[in-house]
């Protein structure tokens, strides 16, 4: 999409309030983009509810005309990742193994909050099967390509692949994602948009197919930090508000020198240094030093870590009857949980607790941690043919983001690169429950970098 065709939520709110557009017009434009045979709509969505979206849009237009719009965001088209329940629809979590499930009898709480605010659901976004992967491929529904260099079909990032592509391509103006190890932030990084991983406890995960009950969080994918802040308010059941401005002057920002800077592609390294220079010029104090809590992560990933243990617990019975329908690369990781003992699991929880305490203590002298969201550019789909290449690139994609989930922190990914350039992304991470402060810091960083 051109920059002229990528409105922010704030600009859409103004246009709707002034009568410059209608919800029906916004929905029709999104549906047209989804249906465009030259676009990625057929791969970005597993299902589209065109009739339902039109009816909801017309209802929101009538309410706004009567002065009764339920929120400023009412009428804006939105996509829901295919693991959250939507009343009357089957939640398949990107898998054919759940195709015979009964339709949901109620919305997931986070979906109900979006609907209560008047957002219009246009469809269910594609995803990595059962959310288990950071690359974005899906053998059942296809892979929507990253907007960058699309002719060469680079991966969109996972697991919220369809959500990020839908937002980047104007098929929706915001999307629900989930983030267990980076699944909002990685697709945002690879698609040139913004992805938020909130502190997990702030947004209810009920009636959302789990990957890891310890690590799952639900966050928005949108075009700017403020767009994510507005949606975060809705997700968390708080008053709708943009990010509170934070001055860069005097902020102490930590750039860890261990792990997160290893193996960076040249474009990522160059853009990261430019970003740091821009933030320093704006008055931030950039401190480069090792961050010891990062060194506690690897043992917590042994035998597949908490994700393998907790996903196997959920999948055990389905696995027994329908494993042959699973993506083999997903099934292999779920199966690792079968080999864990109760003692292994308890030990993982203890190690995680120690790492969370170390993270909180390590952050006490800093306002935020800065790192590249992903150390690499999005690989080409053709680079993933061999399982060993998939495993390596998947782990590289996830490496920096997954640590924040284990620490129970909050984190946001925002573009460091200009539109059309190879997509690189800055990750800003903070302590648990510092979400709104983090959004303010990220908004200031977005302005200081000035790339979008």
Q: Which residues are catalytic?
A: 81, 159, 183
- How many angstroms separate the CA atoms of 79 and 164, rounded? 10
Q: E strands within 315-392? A: 368-372
The DSSP secondary structure of 64-120, one letter per residue, reads HHTT--SSTTTT-EEEEETTB--TTS---TT-GGGTTSPPPSS--HHHHHHHHTT-E
- Tokens 């009428």 map to which residue? 75
Query: Residue 368 — φ and ψ, nearest 5°?
Result: -165, 165
With beta carbons less than 8 A apart as the criterion, state whether 89 and 124 touch.
Answer: yes
Helix (H) or strand (E) holding 232: helix 225-235
End-to-end CA distance of the chain: 13
Tokens standing for residue 46: 């597993």
With beta carbons less than 8 A apart as the criterion, state whether 381 and 155 touch.
Answer: yes
- How many angstroms separate the CA atoms of 85 and 103, rounded? 9
Tokens standing for residue 152: 């060469």
With beta carbons less than 8 A apart as the criterion, state whether 375 and 264 touch.
Answer: yes
- How many angstroms separate the CA atoms of 68 and 249, rounded? 42
Q: Long-range contacts of range 286-289, CB-CB < 8 Å, 24 or more positions apart?
A: 286/253, 286/255, 286/370, 287/252, 287/253, 287/254, 287/255, 287/366, 288/255, 288/257, 289/254, 289/256, 289/257
């Amino acid at each position: 999409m051109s920059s002229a065709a990528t409105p922010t939520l704030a600009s859409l709110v103004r246009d709707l309030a002034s009568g410059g557009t209608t919800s029906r017009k916004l929905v029709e434009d999104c549906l047209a983009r989804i249906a465009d045979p030259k676009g990625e709509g057929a791969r970005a969505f597993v299902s589209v509810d065109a009739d339902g979206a039109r009816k909801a849009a017309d209802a929101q237009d009538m309410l706004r005309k009567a002065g009764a719009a339920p929120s400023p965001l009412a009428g804006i088209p939105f996509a829901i990742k295919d693991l959250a329940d939507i009343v009357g629809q089957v939640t398949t979590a990107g898998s054919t193994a759940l195709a015979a499930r009964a339709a949901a009898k109620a919305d997931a709480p986070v979906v109900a909050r979006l609907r209560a605010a008047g957002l219009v659901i246009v469809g269910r976004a594609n995803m990595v099967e059962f959310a288990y992967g950071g690359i974005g491929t899906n053998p059942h529904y296809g892979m929507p390509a990253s907007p960058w260099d699309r002719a060469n079909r680079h991966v969109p990032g996972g697991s919220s692949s369809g959500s990020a592509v839908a937002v980047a391509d104007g098929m929706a103006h915001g999307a629900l994602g989930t983030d267990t190890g980076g699944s909002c932030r990685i697709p945002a990084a690879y698609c040139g948009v913004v992805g938020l991983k909130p502190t997990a406890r702030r947004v209810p995960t009920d009636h959302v197919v789990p990957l890891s009950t310890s690590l799952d969080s639900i966050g928005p994918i949108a075009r700017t930090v403020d767009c994510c802040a507005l949606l975060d308010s809705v997700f968390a059941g708080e008053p709708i508000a943009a990010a509170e401005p934070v001055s860069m002057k005097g902020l102490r920002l930590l750039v860890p020198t261990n792990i997160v800077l290893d193996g960076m592609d040249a474009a990522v390294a160059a853009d990261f240094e430019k970003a740091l220079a821009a933030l320093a010029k704006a008055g931030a104090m950039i401190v480069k030093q090792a961050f010891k809590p990062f060194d506690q992560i690897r043992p917590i990933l042994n035998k597949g870590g908490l994700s393998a243990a907790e996903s196997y617990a959920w999948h055990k019975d389905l696995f027994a009857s329908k494993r042959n329908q699973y993506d083999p690369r997903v099934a292999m990781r779920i199966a690792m949980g079968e080999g864990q003992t109760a003692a292994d699991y308890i030990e993982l929880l203890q190690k995680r607790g120690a790492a969370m305490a170390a993270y909180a203590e390590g952050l006490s002298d800093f306002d935020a941690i800065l790192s590249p969201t992903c150390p690499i550019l999005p690989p080409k789909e053709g680079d993933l043919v061999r399982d060993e290449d998939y495993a390596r690139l998947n782990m590289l994609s996830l490496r920096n983001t997954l640590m924040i989930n284990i620490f129970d922190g909050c984190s946001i990914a925002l573009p460091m690169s200009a539109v059309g350039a190879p997509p690189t992304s800055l990750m800003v991470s903070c302590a648990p429950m510092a979400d709104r402060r983090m959004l303010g810091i990220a908004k200031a960083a977005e302005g200081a970098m000035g790339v979008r």
